[in-house]
Amino acid sequence: MSTYDFPEDLRDAQAALHRTRAAYEQYAKTLPWSAEPMPGWEADKQLHSSYRSAKPDSPGYTPEQHDQVARYRAQLLELSVAVTTHPYWAQLSEGVVAARMALKHAHEQPDAEAG
């Protein structure tokens, strides 16, 4: 596997993107199933199955929840743009996709200098 000398600001932006995505996903789990108020439903039992799908009534998001979701999405967009448009990518003549994939996992590997 190739190793890359990612600049620190690029590594930091990618790590921030990971953290923000994880925080957003955790937050989303606490939200009602629908952003807007919606009535619940229960589906009919399907043949050869005991599973019944159903959703309770959704009160929709509060104004604060809408604002928080918008903040997360804005942060994710900003960080995604910072990572994908970083000048580092222009210096690679080939293997850009492999390098981008390696960057996504760069935080999982200990720094060579630390060892």
For the segment 58-113, what is each residue's pLDDT rounded down to a tens digit? 999 999 999 999 999 999 999 999 999 999 999 998 999 999 999 999 888 665 44
pLDDT over 80 at 2, yes or no:
no
Average pLDDT, the chain: 91
Q: Contact, 32 vs 111, CB < 8 A? A: no
Domain ranges across the chain = 8-108
pLDDT at 47: 80
For helices 96-104 and 8-29, give the axis angle rounded to 10 degrees: 60
Instruction: Find out whether 85 and 61 touch, Cβ atoms under 8 Å.
Output: no
Q: Return the biggest CA–CA distance within the chain.
A: 61
How many angstroms separate the Cα of 71 from the Cα of each of 33, 67, 92? 19, 6, 33
The confidence band for 3, taking pLDDT boundaries of 50, 70 and 90, is: confident
Q: Write the DSSP symbol of residue 46.
A: P
Question: How many beta carbons lie within 10 A of that of residue 24, not counting itself?
Answer: 17
| Cβ count near 13 (within 10 Å) | 21
pLDDT digits (tens, 9 = 90+) for 93-107: 899 999 999 999 988
Report DSSP state, residue 59.
-
Helix (H) or strand (E) holding 63: helix 63-84
User: Torsions phi, psi of 23, nearest 5?
Assistant: -65, -40
